Amino acid sequence: MSLADLVIRGLVADYNVACGACGTRFRRSGLRVVRREEDVWQISARCPSCNLMSLLVLKVDASGLVSEIELSADEQEKFIAAAAIGADDVLALSEFLAGFDGDFRALFGASATTADAERRPE
């Protein structure tokens, strides 16, 4: 674990980020850095009370202040009710990626066309 990982875990614990299901504050020991891209951190957090795993997406500014990139109320409801990802899901994704040619336009076809149309100025 790097020094930066230790610091970000301390910042998250000090920032009082809480479980979306039961409201219990996450503890430093339940936090793991999953990924970092510049000043945006993805951190897995295990609730010390209900044991729910959450993925936190946090932005840390130069002064060390943390802001949580929050999900909308609809997104929170959707993900709290969703089944946890299991080994079968990981295997299915692995099999899909083994045969995927990288053509996202074809994969997302209709929805990408709709999004493109909405972005175009009239």
Q: Could you list the residues that contact Zn ion (CB under 5 A)?
A: 19, 21-22, 24, 47, 49-50, 52
Collapse the DSSP code of 50 into the 3-class scheme (helix H, G, I; strand E, B; otherwise coil) and give the result. coil
Strands 66-68, 31-37: parallel, antiparallel or unpaired by DSSP? Answer: unpaired
Whichever of 31 and 60 has its CB closer to Zn ion, that residue is 31
Whichever of 19 and 43 has its CB closer to Zn ion, that residue is 19
Residues linked to residue 41 through DSSP beta bridges, in sequence order: 36, 58
Minimal distance in Å, beta carbon 87 to Zn ion? 24
> At a CB cut-off of 8 Å and minimum separation 6, what does 82 contact?
none
Minimal distance in Å, beta carbon 84 to Zn ion? 14
Residue located via tokens 């175009």: 120
Minimal distance in Å, beta carbon 89 to Zn ion? 22
Whichever of 42 and 49 has its CB closer to Zn ion, that residue is 49
